[in-house]
Amino acid sequence: MKRLLIVGGGSAGWMAAAYLNAALNYEGRKVVDISLIESPDVPRIGVGEATVPSIKHSLAVIGLNEHEFLRRVDGTFKQSIKFVNWLHNRGEHYYHPFGRHQPGPIDDSGLQWLRSNRSLPFIETVSAHPTLCELNLAPQMLGKWDFGEYLTYAYHMNALKFADYLSEVATKRGVKHYRDHVNDVEMTEDGSIAAVMTRSGLRLEADLFLDCTGFAALLIEKKLASKWVDFSSWLLCDRALTMPVDYAEHYPGFVRPYTISTALSAGWVWDIPLQNRRGVGYVHSSAFLSEDAAEREIRAYEGGHADNLDTRMVRFKVGMREKAWVKNCIAIGLAGGFLEPIESTGLYLSDLATVMLSEHFPLGDDMAPLRMRFNRIMSNRFYEVLDFINLHYCMTQRNDTEFWREVQRSEHINDRLQNKLEFWRAKPVANVDFEDQRFPLQQPVDASLGHSAPATAMDELTDPRVPVDTGKLFTRSSYEAILYGMDFMRSECDVRFGKNRASSTVYLPIQQRLAMASHKLPPHDVWLQQVLGMPAYVQKR
Beta strand ranges found along 51-181 (DSSP E) = 76-78, 80-84, 93-97, 154-158, 176-179
Distance CA 226, CA 331 (A): 10
Furthest-apart CA pair in the chain: how many Å?
78
Three-state DSSP class for residue 254 = coil
- State the sign of the Cα–Cα–Cα–Cα dihedral 485, 486, 489, 490: positive
Three-state DSSP class for residue 423 = helix
Q: Alpha helices of 364-474 — where are they, by DSSP H?
A: 368-394, 402-407, 415-426
Tell me whether residue 78 is one of the annotated catalytic residues: yes
Three-state DSSP class for residue 527 = helix
Cα separations in angstroms, 22 against 60, 63, 202, 367, 410: 10, 8, 27, 22, 46
CB 361 within 8 A of CB 22: no
CB 504 within 8 A of CB 119: yes
Residue 477 CB neighbours (<10 A): 21
Which DSSP string corresponds to 316-352?
Answer: ---EEES-SEETTEEE-GGGTEE--GGGS-HHHHHHH
Distance CA 485, CA 129 (A): 14
Q: Which of 76, 90, 75, 94 is nearest to 136 (CA)?
A: 76
Cα separations in angstroms, 284 against 231, 347, 370, 454: 15, 20, 38, 50
Q: Which of 155, 179, 147, 138 is nearest to 64 (CA)?
A: 155
Q: Which residue type does 464 have?
A: P
78, 223, 323, 327: the active-site residue:
78
Which DSSP string corresponds to 279-299?
Answer: EEEEEE-TTT--HHHHHHHHH
Distance CA 34, CA 133 (A): 41
Radius of gyration (C-alpha) of the chain in whole angstroms = 24
Cα separations in angstroms, 431 against 95, 100, 114, 151, 470: 20, 15, 17, 22, 11
CB 241 within 8 A of CB 281: yes
List residues with catalytic annotation: 78
